[in-house]
Chain A
Amino acid sequence: MLSNQLAELWQESLEDQDFRFELKAQEVAVSLASAVVDSGITQKALADKLGWKTSRVSKVLHGGSNLTLKTLFDVCEALNIEFDIAFDRVGARQKEVAVTKLKHLEVEAMLQTAQDLNRASWKQFSQPVVKRQIYSSPTELQGIQA
Chain B
Amino acid sequence: MTIHLLEITETTIGKPFPDVVPRLDRWKLMARCASQDPNTCYFLKQIADLGKSNRVDGKAALSALAKLLQVAQTGQPLESFYDKKQSHQLHEFDYKGITHVVWRLRKGDIRLVFYYAEGKVVFLADALAKRQDKLSVGEKIKLENEIKTYIDAEQANEICVIQPEVGHVK
Contacts and interface: CB of A to CB of B under 8 A. Distances in A.
A3 interface: yes
Interface in B24-48: 38-41, 44-45, 47-48
Interface stretch (B79-87, B91-99, B122-130, B147-155): B79-87
Contacts of A37: 74, 76-77, 80
A33 B80 contact: yes
Bin the interface of chain B by size.
20 to 34
Given A13-B58, A33-B81, A37-B80, A3 B39 contact: yes
Contact of B63 (A22, A34, A61, A90): A22
A26 B80 CA distance: 14
A37 B63 CA distance: 22
Contacts, number: 82
B76 A2 contact: no
B51 A30 contact: no
Closest 10 CB pairs of A and B: A6-B14, A9-B51, A7-B14, A5-B48, A2-B39, A37-B76, A26-B67, A13-B59, A34-B74, A30-B70
Interface of B: 13-17, 19, 38-41, 44-45, 47-48, 51-52, 55, 58-59, 62-63, 66-67, 70-71, 74, 76-77, 80-83, 86
